[in-house]
Amino acid sequence: MQRGFTRLSVCLSLSLIMGDAYASLPDTRTSVIEVPAGTVGLGAALRRGTSPYTGVDNISGMDKDSKADLIPLYLYEGKWLFAHGTSAGAHLFKSDWLSVNMLAKYRFNQLESDATSYFNGINDRDQTVDMGFSATVSGDWGSLSTTWANDILGVHNGYEWDFTYAYGMEIGRWSFTPFFSYVYQDSDLTDYYYGVDAEEARADRPVYKPDSAAFWRAGVNTSYRATSRLLLFTNVASQHVDSEIYNSPLVDESQLVSASFGFAYLFGNALDDSTKQSGSERAGEWSWRLNAGYQAEGPFTRTMTGRLKRSEDVHAYMAGLTLGKLISDGKYVDYWGRLSLNRRFENGYQDDFGEYNAYVMAMTPANPPWSSKEWFRLGIGFGFSYAAKVPYVEQVKQAERERNTSHFLNYLEGQIDVPLRLMTENKAVRNCYVGISLLHRSGIFAKSDILGSVSGGSDMVSGHIECKR
């Protein structure tokens, strides 16, 4: 396994957007570790920063009681696809010195009309997803990258162009990457976040329509490799505020400072079978699972203890297919990379829809002290879930609490099953299991902007059959 995490030509990066939830935020790029294609990881970061908006100091929005925002990080570096924390995309071209990517990344800019009394009568400025292209040229002298990204959700309808030079240095387990960026934002983007329309204007907040803005940003990204799998990092950046933005009646800061603190844990490699244990007969192992179930009352901790009660609010159902690939086999715990495609049957409450989950599952076999045979398996998974429609049960529960809903949420899964070989000697099912899986969507207690500041979620209980190949 160690060999898979040595210095290789593919660099896994966390593209973290740091700073203030209300600010024009730096996109800091931390070189996490040089790893082979196929590496899977998870992590988290806290971001803090200065807001450009008048009198605003809570970067996490009014629905949170914390001035820091939690960012869950979902990491994958594939041959063609990647997920780098708050961005994801596809590699269009990749060589030793040049890479070209298509990517989508989350924009954290935000202003709430109830942030302070000064903003009463202002329309909310919402977060969005920008999509575009990036190109990076690298060598012994450092790296020069450019990223063009345009709003794809119709929020600000503008675009941003970023040019960044970075130079990485390594000292033992430490790495330091100073960077300098020149950023251009078009007038549609600046007008949405910093302009004042006629219907929003008042005596102390006149009409204002900014033009395009350009500014410099500088910072340093620092990381510490605690182990071959665990990386700790800190990113700090400072950004000049262009006069087109600073002259807005909504803004009172001319310089923005942002910082983030986090970790990333790399589980293993889903593509390279040589990263499995030496002499392992399980190299290349994969699995498929069919499951079907019903809406549970929850919460997840209650269903995990065996209280599998049907939801009192919504009678809904699901069925799905899950594909898994062994990314690391251990003496006691295996790690699997999994993708599940579920169909949510809403029983007439709304149209049925698809749900897509990507996660890492830690699985451990169990056997009694008097036997070497596997009697059952226990698993716990963590990742993200995207639902084409917000499940109706989430709409109902969140409406009762006057809370937000989100298509994109964190994902937890618990699984317990028994091998069929304990029940039959049929060779066709000797590597198959039957059991129960518990599926949970969650917003991590409204601590994360990227999860829509959602507090709560929903649970499903399903029976399944899973076979390994």
CA dist., res. 338 & res. 358, Å (int): 6
In this predicted structure, the answer to whether residue 336 has a pLDDT above a threshold of 70 is yes
Give yes or no for a cis peptide into 299 (omega within 30° of 0): yes
In this predicted structure, the answer to whether residue 247 has a pLDDT above a threshold of 70 is yes
Contact 412, 386 (CB under 8 A): no
In this predicted structure, the answer to whether residue 22 has a pLDDT above a threshold of 70 is no
CA dist., res. 288 & res. 424, Å (int): 20
Percent of the chain beyond pLDDT 70? 86
In this predicted structure, the answer to whether residue 211 has a pLDDT above a threshold of 60 is yes
Select from 2.160.20, 3.30.450, 2.60.60, 2.40.128 the CATH code of 2-269.
Answer: 2.40.128
Most confident of 112-116, 220-224, 245-249, 298-302: 245-249
In this predicted structure, the answer to whether residue 31 has a pLDDT above a threshold of 60 is no
Closest by CA position to 45, among listed 23, 62, 68? 68
Q: Decide yes or no: CATH 3.30.230.70 for domain 281-468.
A: no
* Predicted pLDDT at 4: 37
Return mean pLDDT, the chain.
85
* Predicted pLDDT at 51: 87
* Predicted pLDDT at 367: 78
| Helices (H) then strands (E): counts for the chain | 4, 23
pLDDT in tens, 152-198: 999 999 999 999 999 989 999 999 999 999 999 999 999 999 999 99
CA dist., res. 462 & res. 178, Å (int): 49
* Predicted pLDDT at 11: 41
The terminus-to-terminus CA distance of the chain in angstroms comes to 22
* Predicted pLDDT at 273: 62
Contact 256, 19 (CB under 8 A): yes
* Predicted pLDDT at 447: 80
pLDDT in tens, 109-119: 888 888 889 99
- Token look-up 């983030």 returns 260
CA dist., res. 235 & res. 256, Å (int): 14
- Token look-up 């800091």 returns 28
pLDDT in tens, 363-420: 998 877 777 788 899 999 999 999 999 999 999 988 888 788 899 999 999 999 999 9
* Confidence band of 429 (pLDDT split at 50, 70, 90): confident
* Predicted pLDDT at 321: 98
* Confidence band of 9 (pLDDT split at 50, 70, 90): very low
More confident residue, 11 or 229: 229
- Mean of pLDDT values over 285-308: 82
* Predicted pLDDT at 23: 29
Is the pTM higher than 0.85? The answer reads no
In this predicted structure, the answer to whether residue 274 has a pLDDT above a threshold of 60 is no
CA dist., res. 279 & res. 271, Å (int): 17
- Mean of pLDDT values over 56-67: 63
pLDDT in tens, 218-233: 999 898 999 888 989 9
Length of the chain counted residue by residue: 469
Contacts 24+ apart (CB under 8 A), 129-134: 129/104, 129/105, 129/153, 130/104, 130/105, 130/159, 130/160, 131/102, 131/103, 131/104, 131/105, 132/102, 132/103, 132/159, 133/92, 133/100, 133/101, 133/102, 133/103, 134/100, 134/101, 134/103
Contact 214, 239 (CB under 8 A): no
Question: Where do you find CATH 2.40.160.20 in the chain?
Answer: 281-468
CA dist., res. 348 & res. 215, Å (int): 52
Name the strand (E) or helix (H) holding 191: helix 187-194
Closest by CA position to 56, among listed 260, 258, 252, 254? 252
User: Among the residues of 255-308, which ranges form H helices?
Assistant: 300-304
Question: Where do you find CATH 2.40.128 in the chain?
Answer: 2-269
* Predicted pLDDT at 451: 82
Strand locations in 346-429 (E): 353-366, 376-387, 408-419
